[in-house]
Amino acid sequence: MRRAHALIIDDDPVNNKVLANLLEMHEVSSTLVEATGNFPDVLVDLPDCDLVFLDLEMPGLDGYEVFDLLASDTRFAAVPVIVCSVHTNEMANTRHVGLDGFIAKPLDSRRFPDQLNRILRGEAVWDAR
């Protein structure tokens, strides 16, 4: 059986490492992606994935702009995009614009396995704690 693969789009190296380690502990591989101004060019070379974890506040492009680019690409249009952000006040807006879930930062390693399993089963996760 093929391992699930996630894209992590976040500008914070500490958050990237924490999330990548949590995913690896649960047999999900990951690719770290920087959302810079040249993200449209980077998008072409991204590997196929089963889910995307997306920060909202990044230099270059913000999470909403990255989501629009992902949604307009046929390879990623059906892939769940989950926001991971400290900005819990944005949760309603992320749902309104069509994102597939929200997990508050800092990530809770005790809750993350359940959140991840629900996402992989196709369930929405809206967790601002």
- Name the nearest CA neighbour of 111 among 26, 50, 17: 26
Cα gap 100→45, rounded to integer Å: 23
Which residue ranges make up each domain of the chain? 4-127
How confident is the model over 32-41, as pLDDT tens digits?
997 777 788 8
- pTM for this one? 0.94
Range 4-127: architecture per CATH: 3-Layer(aba) Sandwich (3.40)
In sequence order, the 6+-apart residues with CB closer than 8 A to the CB of 75 are: 46, 48
By the 8 A CB rule, do 54 and 23 touch?
no
How confident is the model over 74-89, as pLDDT tens digits?
999 899 999 999 999 9
By the 8 A CB rule, do 61 and 39 touch?
yes
